[in-house]
Structure formats: C-alpha cells, structure tokens
Amino acid sequence: MLLYAEIQKILKSKKFFIALIITIGFNLFYCWFVYNYENKSVESTKQYIADTERQIKELQQKLKKEKDDMKKRLYQEQINELNRIVQKEKLKMQYASNPKKEIEERARYYKMRYEISQKAGDYKELEINKVNYQILNENIKRKKYYSVGGQFDGWTYLLSQSYGIAFFIIIVLALLIGSGIVSDEYKEGTAKILKTMPVKRSNIILSKFIATVLTVSALVIGIQIVFFIVLNLITDSFKYYDVYCNWISRYKVIGFKVYPVLDNVKLLTLLESSILQFMTEIVIILAISGIIVFFSSIFENGVFTSISFIAIIVIISILRQKMLMIKTPVLKLLSLIFPWELSVVYTNYLPNELDWIYASTYVVIGLNLLLTIIFVLGSIEIFKHKEKV
C-alpha cells in the first residue's frame, strides 16, 4: 500500500512529466542525429571521391607535361596513393549496399589479424581477432549477412545505448525523480506525519527507493523497447534476432595479470545482448537510485541532493582512469563503480588488463549491488536519526 502511494505520488508530480518529455525527446533527437549523420557521411564520402578523382586527373595532366624524371616519379607516387584511397572509399560505398561482401571481407581480415597475433603472442589482440572472426564466420554459415551499424534499425539503436547514452539518461531521470523523494518530506513538513503511521521506518525508505527504481526503469527501458520495436518494424529487422554480434569473454589470472581463455568463449546473439543490456541497466538503476535516495535523506533541499550526487559522479569519472593505475586492490575496485559503457559489463570484457584484481562481470555487478545495499541501509538510519532530532 505504501509503495503504491509513493508510485502514485511520483506519477502525479510535474517532475515525472518533465522526465517523460526529456526521455522521449532525447531518444527522438538521438535517432534523428544518427540517421542524419549516416546520410551526411555517405554524401561526404561521395564528394570526397569526386574531389580526389579530380585531383588525380590534374596530376596526370602535369605528369604528361613534365620532363624531369624525379618530378615524374613524385607525381606517379601521388597518383598511385590517391588511386588506392579512391578504391578503398569505393569499396566502403559498395559494402554499404552489399552486406554479404562486407562480412566476408571482414571475416578474412580478422582471420589474417588472428594469425599475426598468434605469431606475435599478443593475448589481447588474439582474443579480439579470434572472436570477431568466429562471430562473422557463424553468420556467413547461417547466411545472415547483417552488420551492426550497417543501417539504423532497432538493434543498432538499442546496442548503441550501452555506450554511455543509457547511463547519461539514467542519471538525469534519477536526479529528477529521486532528488526530492525524501528531502521534500522534510521541506513540506510531512515527515512528522509519516512518523505517526503504523509502519516501520525502514519500509518508508524502502518504498521510496523501490518507487524510484520502478519509475526510472519504466522510463528508460520502457521507452527503449518502444523505439526498438518501431525502428525494427520500419526496417524489417526483427528477423536478425539470432545474428551473432558479441561475446561473453572468460578470464584466468596468471600471477597478477588477467588473460582471456580463448577456448571458453560464449558468443552472443543480438537478442541475448539486448536482454543482458536491460539486466545491466537495471543493476545501474538500482545503484544510482540507492545513492540519490541516500543524499535525499541527508539534505532537506533537493538542490543540495542534486549537487552532491553530480559531484560524486564527476569525481568518479575524472578519477576512473587514475584508479586503474593504483597498486592498492581495494582502491582500484572504485574504477568499476557506475560503469559508463554497459557493454563492457555484460560482455565481461574490460578493455585494459587490470593488475591485482580479477575484474569480471560478477565483480562489477556485485560491487554496484553492494553499494546499493549500503546506501539504502544508510538512508534508513539517517531517516530514523532525523526523526529523533
């Protein structure tokens, strides 16, 4: 009953409608921007090819008139280089309308890179090239000539959200909805009324926390699903759900270094990646909602709550790379708080080798869930203490 009342309060507030408008508006702008960027990219490539071919003709005319052998060789080298560039750009244009050829060429490229990495003994490159080749080869066998990012459809939209976009919108919504969820009770004097209710004080904070999580999750994931369905219907891309596009990597520790286990890699389909992305988003929403409720319990003004939360996010973002260089294992774990790139979490792939710690999906998720529990329990204790003052 208490949870229902909290959700009703959020849904009736102006902040919720602002959050709804921001979420829908941001996603519409994002789709428009990416679609136009891809179209402009194609047009700019065509223009670049035309300009380069014109430059080649000018050099060829100079070459015919030139009598100095050294200058002739220089002109010829420039012509050859420009011809290679034109050929490369034309192939890109050709691949855009021929995904089969693109995937076959990319598969050959990654196979070649894998063989080079194998000879060099480069573990990191070995894993990346082998897995990319396996993914492309599986799709060729299935005759599924689909390249993520080849066109702007539902799958590309959804998976691209994992690169900082979903994290950004989660923070914005959490600030709007959660910053005043407890502090407003102090400000409006209703905290005393809550004290007279025949419910545990912990249940009051828990209901506010869960209401924040459910509202933010519904806005972020619900709207993502709507855009995902619409874009896939427009582009007829639902049929690619079983295309391989990513992987969950396994790691082993040798000394204090983390190395991939190449023979124990689970390839992911588009559908599996999407489901894992939603699960990762929920974990991040839990952690961020926990900390925003915590600060809302401390301050009696939602503005101070927002400032404190933003400060924490900024500090973690600035220090994230520096934390990776720290020798102390516990401090290094702080770099895994609130991961910007969600795909790094659900694919269990961290771009850099991490010394001293076994960094995996479970560590990142476990750390953020632990923070959630700590901040929620802290919020309950602060709320109880403030009632006694």
The more confidently predicted of residues 71 and 167 is 167
Tokens of 368: 């953020």
Is the CB of residue 300 less than 8 Å from the CB of residue 180? Answer: no
Q: How many CB atoms lie within 10 A of CB 98?
A: 14
pLDDT band at 355 (very low <50, low <70, confident <90, very high): very low
Confidence check: pLDDT of 264 > 60: yes
Which of 123-132, 266-275, 289-298 bottoms out in mean pLDDT, i.e. has the lowest?
Answer: 123-132
pLDDT recorded at residue 351: 47
Q: Picking from 21-35, 116-130, 240-254, 323-337, which range would have the lowest pLDDT averaged per residue?
A: 323-337
Contacts of 129-136 with CB under 8 Å at 24 or more apart are: 130/262, 131/247, 131/249, 131/265, 131/267, 132/106, 133/107, 134/244, 134/265, 134/267, 135/244, 135/245, 135/246, 135/247, 135/267, 136/103, 136/106, 136/107, 136/110
- Per-residue pLDDT, averaged over 202-221, amounts to 91
Planar angle of CA 330, 336, 342, nearest 5 degrees: 165
The least confident of 104-108, 230-234, 242-246, 337-341 is 337-341
Residue 7's CB: how many other CB atoms inside 10 A?
18
Q: Is the pLDDT of residue 112 over 80?
A: yes
* pLDDT above 70 as % of the chain: 82
Phi-psi region of 143 (alpha: psi -120 to 50; beta: other; left: phi over 0): left
Count of alpha carbons within 13 Å of 286, Cβ hemisphere only?
Answer: 16
Tokens 């090819």 belong to 49
The C-alpha R_g of the chain, in whole angstroms, comes to: 27
Side chain identity, residue 385: H
pLDDT at residue 62 is higher than 60: yes
Give the model's confidence band at 2: pLDDT under 50 very low, under 70 low, under 90 confident, else very high.
confident
Q: Which pLDDT value is given to residue 356?
A: 46
Domains of the chain, residue spans:
2-43+150-388
* Residue 389 pLDDT grade (very low, low, confident, very high; cuts 50, 70, 90): very low
Rounded Cα–Cα distance for residues 115 and 122 (Å): 11
Residue 279: both structure tokens together:
């699960």
Position 21 confidence tier, pLDDT thresholds 50, 70, 90: very high
Residue 286 in this model has a pLDDT that exceeds 70: yes
- Given a cut of 50, whether residue 217 has pLDDT beyond it is yes
Region 248-260 average pLDDT: 67
So what's the pLDDT on residue 281? 94
Q: What CA–CA distance (Å, rounded) separates 139 from 143?
A: 6
What is the pLDDT at residue 243?
93
Position 318 pLDDT exceeds 80: no
Q: Give the 3-state secondary structure of residue 247.
A: strand
- pLDDT of res. 58: 87
**Cβ pair 285, 216 in contact under 8 A:** yes
